[in-house]
Structures are given as structure tokens and as C-alpha cells.
Amino acid sequence: MGLVASFGVVLTGATGMVGQAFLRQRGAHPVHALVRSPEGRDWGDGVHVVRGDLHGIPDALFPPYPYVVLHLATKQRDTDGTGFERTNEDGTRRLLSRLKGDCRGILYGSSMSVYGEGPHWGVTEAQPLRPITALARSRVATEALITEHAARNGLHAALLRPRFLIGKGDRYFLPAFVKHLKRGVQMGDDAVACSVIDVDDLGRILWALARRMVETSQPEQRPYNVAHARPLFRAELTATVAQALGLPSPTVKVRVPGGLLHVMREVPIRRARTQAERLELLTRSQCLDVARLAEVLGPETALSRSPVDALRSALNAFHS
């Protein structure tokens, strides 16, 4: 593997929040996107749309020049009750088995959920993986599939583990927080903190890692925590959102005992377990250490951006 000035990216999950941010940051590099239903979108120059899915991958997806795979096509919610294995694990196996040509590496959109139950402060990539949800377990299994394939075939692998994504396309983090705040409720006390990353900053980070895979001769297989380096405290989140949206300060601050969360997780009722997961995310600190990624990308990158500044930008997107 030598230095290569030009390369492409094979992208799965192009219609999701991260996939769209990645495309917004693409510059001159071509992207080959696997899309189940490509109609109704303006994909722009340099995006070669290939119709298909992980269980039906056309040969046309793979370019005749060096490329990196960005794998974001994962099932996030089990609304149909069929589980996560078919898409997240079996789909990944099929993708890996079809890689052809001059593939240099694989970027995978995983999650901090692989570390298990919180609270978490300064979690590094050396933290043991203790997934407690079916989705998190499927992510751990997918990480292992990609790492093993990359090591066996001399490819790079980067497993990206963010916590909360904010910015354009956010349908979960800010909407949920704003809904509670409009009711006068703050989930978690002021000292609760969380790791966030603006999705467009994440798009830039993904491009930097893809470029590094093409330009680095020695293959590496590594997980990376991804977030703005400083966590966002709940007091900052509340004050910034309330000011931007003209909302009063909350009258109620919800704290949930750890014992209650444990009981809810053990109840054989799916809705109770789901609610326990949401309450933990909203009321327990979820903070990542991103020193490993900062060492690779350099200190003066999107990682050093103030999370409050990123939140203000996200609120502009939320308004629009």
C-alpha cells in the first residue's frame, strides 16, 4: 500500500443522518452509495447511486480504483420485532464477502452503547465491552466481524463509537430534550454530563480517517471514541436550549434511582426495558475519552470544538 492521492468511498446507509453529513463534506472524492430507494433525492455531483441493499449488492457498487468502505447501514430500532441479526450481522457478513478490487479499509458506525450500563466518565477504548441491549450486542458482534475480516485480509478497520449526535437530521437527542423542557422538566441534575458530536464535524472526521487509510501503509484495526473532547453538562444544555427557544427554566429536575432502572430492565415487558434505556441515557452521565482519535487526527480538529458552540449550531438546524 503506497500513497494514493485519489480514492473513492463505498457508502452504505447514505440516507441516514451520518450518511447525509458525510456526503455534504465529500469534496472532490467520488462516492458509490448503495441505496434501496434512490428516487426523490438530489444526490449531487460525484455520487454514483447503486440500487440495492446488503442482501442484494450489485457488482457496480465497487469502483475500479482504490476505495474505503463506510458502513452505516444498520438497523437501529426493532419496530417489527424481528431482531437485529439479519441486517446488522448477516448483512455485514454479506458486504464483507463481496468486497472486491482495491479496498483499503472499512469504517463502521458503531456506538458508545457497546460499553454497557452507565454512568460513564472518561471511558476509553480499553473499557471492557458489556452490551446490555440487543442492539448493542449486535454492534459488538458486527465490530468483531469487521475487525476479524480486516486483520485476515490486511485492511484497515476503524470502529467509530459516538454517544449523542446533534445537528442536521437529529430526530432524537434535541427533540426529546426540548419536549421535556417545554413541560418544565429537566431530565437529570445539573452535574450530569454527556459526550456529543456535531454530525457535520463527524462527517469531516470520517473523511480524514478514510484518507488516512489510503495513505497509511501499515493496516490498523482499532476502535475510536468520537465526540467533542469536553463533555456537555446538563446545566449548559438546559440554559442554552432555553435561551435559544425562549423557554422558562425547568421547575422539575428528574433523578432516577439506579435500583429502579435495574428493576425496569429485569421486567419481562419490552416497553419497560425500552423506557429504562431512555431514562439511563437522559439521567446518567455518558462521557467518552477521545484522546486516541485526537492523537491520530491532531489536536486542532473538530474534537476541540466547544460542545456549547456545537449545540448552538444544532439549535439553528433544529429551528429550520
pLDDT at 90: 97
Report the distance separating Cα 227 and Cα 201, nearest Å.
9
- C-alpha 103/C-alpha 156 separation (Å) is 9
- What is the reported pLDDT for 194? 96
Q: How much is the pLDDT for 2?
A: 44
- Tens digit of each residue's pLDDT, the chain (320 residues): 444 558 999 999 999 999 999 999 998 899 999 999 888 788 988 999 999 999 999 999 999 999 999 999 999 988 888 899 999 999 999 999 999 999 999 999 999 999 998 889 999 999 999 998 999 999 999 999 999 999 999 999 999 999 999 999 999 999 999 999 999 999 889 999 999 999 999 999 999 999 999 999 899 999 999 999 999 999 999 999 999 999 999 998 877 766 666 666 776 766 766 666 777 777 889 999 999 999 999 867 789 999 999 999 999 888 75
The full set of domains in the chain, from first to last, is 8-165+196-227+288-303 (3.40.50.720)
Residue 231 DSSP label: P
C-alpha 268/C-alpha 259 separation (Å) is 16
The radius of gyration of the chain's CA atoms, rounded to the nearest angstrom, is 20
Sheet containing 120-123: order of strands: 120-123, 286-288, 193-194, 232-233
Nearest to 286 by CA among 90, 76, 136: 136
pLDDT value of position 277? 72
Q: How far apart are CA 57 and CA 51, in angstroms?
A: 8
> pTM of the entire structure?
0.92
Whole-angstrom distance, CA of residue 136 vs CA of residue 112: 9
